């Protein structure tokens, strides 16, 4: 299933203006964040670029929230020395920058994530 950029912008704009519509936002990927033993079988290693390094990111992703979708990809988010082996570097964007993100993703296993990982993905931490 594919979505046109104009359709994404309209849906995201309505989600920003009326948060109750945010759950209707189309996503490019339903991401299962690899935790524990699943990090070995992840489809891709991704480093989250923060601060000044975000300018060097390969892509900008907007996390639209958690979802109950079937995962389309399993990602091992890495940091520190492991970030050097990452396949891709992404900047996680929020606010108005979500409108120009390269990908809109949702997280299928948000409840299993650490508070630190949830914060890195701009998900609620409580």
Q: What is the pLDDT of residues 22-62, one digit of tens each?
A: 455 689 999 999 998 888 889 999 999 998 989 989 999 99
Angle formed at CA 119 by CA 88 and CA 50, multiple of 5 degrees: 45
Domain ranges of the chain: 5-120
State pLDDT tens for residues 69-102.
999 999 999 998 999 999 999 999 999 999 999 9
60 contact partners, CB below 8 Å, separation of at least 6: 90, 91, 92, 93, 97, 100, 101, 102, 103
| Helix residue spans in the chain (DSSP H) | 5-17, 115-120
Give the global pTM: 0.77
Cβ atoms within 10 Å, residue 54: 15
């Amino acid at each position: 299933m594919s979505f046109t950029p104009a359709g994404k912008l309209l849906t995201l704009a309505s989600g920003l203006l009326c948060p109750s519509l945010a759950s209707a936002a189309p996503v490019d990927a339903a991401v299962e964040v690899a935790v524990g033993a699943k990090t070995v079988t992840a489809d891709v290693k991704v480093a989250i670029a923060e601060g000044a390094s975000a300018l060097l990111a390969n892509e900008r992703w907007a996390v639209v929230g958690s979802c109950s979708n079937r995962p389309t990809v399993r990602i091992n988010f890495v940091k520190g020395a492991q970030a050097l082996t990452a396949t891709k570097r992404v900047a996680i964007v929020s606010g108005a920058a979500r409108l120009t993100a390269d990908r809109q993703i949702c997280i299928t296993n948000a409840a299993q994530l650490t508070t630190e990982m949830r914060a890195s993905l701009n998900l609620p931490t409580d």
